[in-house]
Amino acid sequence: MGQRLAILGAGNVGRSVAELAGEYEHEVVALADSTSAAVDSEGIDVTDVVERKRSGDDLGETAPEAVFETDYDVLVEATPTTLGDADPGFTHAKRALQTDRHVVLANKGPVAERYDELRELEAGSAGAIRFEATVGGAIPVLSTIEDSTPQAVTAVRGVLNGTANFILTRMAAEGLDYEHVLAEAQDLGVAEADPTFDVDGTDAALKFVILANVLADGGFSLDDATVEGIQNVPGSALELAAEDGRTIRLIGEATRDGVRVSPRLVPENGALAVTGTRNIVQIETRNAGSLHSSGRGAGGPETATAVLSDVGRLPPL
């Protein structure tokens, strides 16, 4: 059933959601970034608005706050992830729920840092929250857990940061050191100019914290995670691992008891040794053994498919 989407955030993910919405028979009634908004209750001209963004112009004539005055069904929160108070993303979600609208998040902050509060707001709203896009990009992780029922899932383990995985894959393949491969990754656009959250494990940890919140129905935030990144993995460690038929990956694990992210030895040809920017999750279940899902964990269109998948699963308002 076609929904009217109000999209906050006009980066890769926000723009891709706008561009693909029509394919899923949804209407984009608003697209906003931090300085301006394009708003049209009949549906904005997505191609035109995205072109303006690419040219460095304002998206439209309206202030971003105007988005909340529009007639929309689903707020898509795709502004940059922030930690701690998770604002402005958390407050955006709160406003939508308080006016009985749905919220689909691509922004990890609110569901990693203030999960319990968000669920409380949802309980008092006619709207629902969904957040598949916050974990594993195009890979259907959260919907798989939801359909199996969270109670039937005992643990989720895997590789959920493509930048760190790319770096480790290249270090192992080429015998190059971390600094060299990081520079290469930045040239390719696989790592940001400021790659901190990717290489220090924070990005992966946020995702596994979200998973722990889903398994345990809340109670976790980033502070609860034990996190170690890849910045100190020397090339020699990878060579040593290879002599033993192993390699090193940044592996995270979430259970009802906690979250841990760190570089770990894994069998070279095993499921966890995904290569390049690919992600993988292993979902351990009580009744059905272990389910492995791998795919592209990041990217505009990839993440947009997760957002639009969520939109499709929302109940009618």
Binding residues: 9-14, 108, 192
Q: Is 56 left (phi over 0), alpha (psi -120 to 50) or beta?
A: left
Residues in the chain: 317
Taking CB under 8 A as the criterion, which residues in 45-74 touch its own copies?
A: none
User: Least separation, in Å, of the C-beta of 15 and its own copies?
Assistant: 13
Which one of 70, 143, 186, 231 is in contact with its own copies (CB under 8 A)? Answer: 143
Q: Could you tell me the two tokens for 153?
A: 């899932």
Which one of 66, 83, 152, 242 is in contact with its own copies (CB under 8 A)? Answer: 152
Binding residues for NADPH: 108
Number of residues engaging its own copies in binding (CB under 8 A) = 35
Which one of 82, 144, 231, 262 is in contact with its own copies (CB under 8 A)? Answer: 144
Residue 41 and residue 66 in contact, taking contact as beta carbons nearer than 8 Å? no
Q: Is 94 a catalytic residue?
A: no
Measure the CA–CA gap between 1 and 102, rounded to whole angstroms.
14
One-letter amino acid of 116 = D
User: Least separation, in Å, of the C-beta of 106 and its own copies?
Assistant: 14
User: Least separation, in Å, of the C-beta of 23 and its own copies?
Assistant: 7
Measure the CA–CA gap between 115 and 289, rounded to whole angstroms.
28
Q: Could you tell me the two tokens for 139?
A: 């890979």
Residue with tokens 């989720």: 156
All residues at 6 or more sequence positions from 169 whose CB lies less than 8 Å from its CB, including other chains: 275, 276
- Catalytic residue, chosen from 94, 207, 246, 260, is 207
Which one of 34, 47, 98, 149 is in contact with its own copies (CB under 8 A)? Answer: 149
Measure the CA–CA gap between 64 and 24, rounded to whole angstroms.
25
The residues that touch its own copies, with contacts defined as CB under 8 A, are 20, 23-24, 137-140, 143-144, 147-149, 151-152, 269, 271, 285, 287-296, 299, 301-302, 304-305, 309, 312-313
Q: Which residues are catalytic?
A: 207
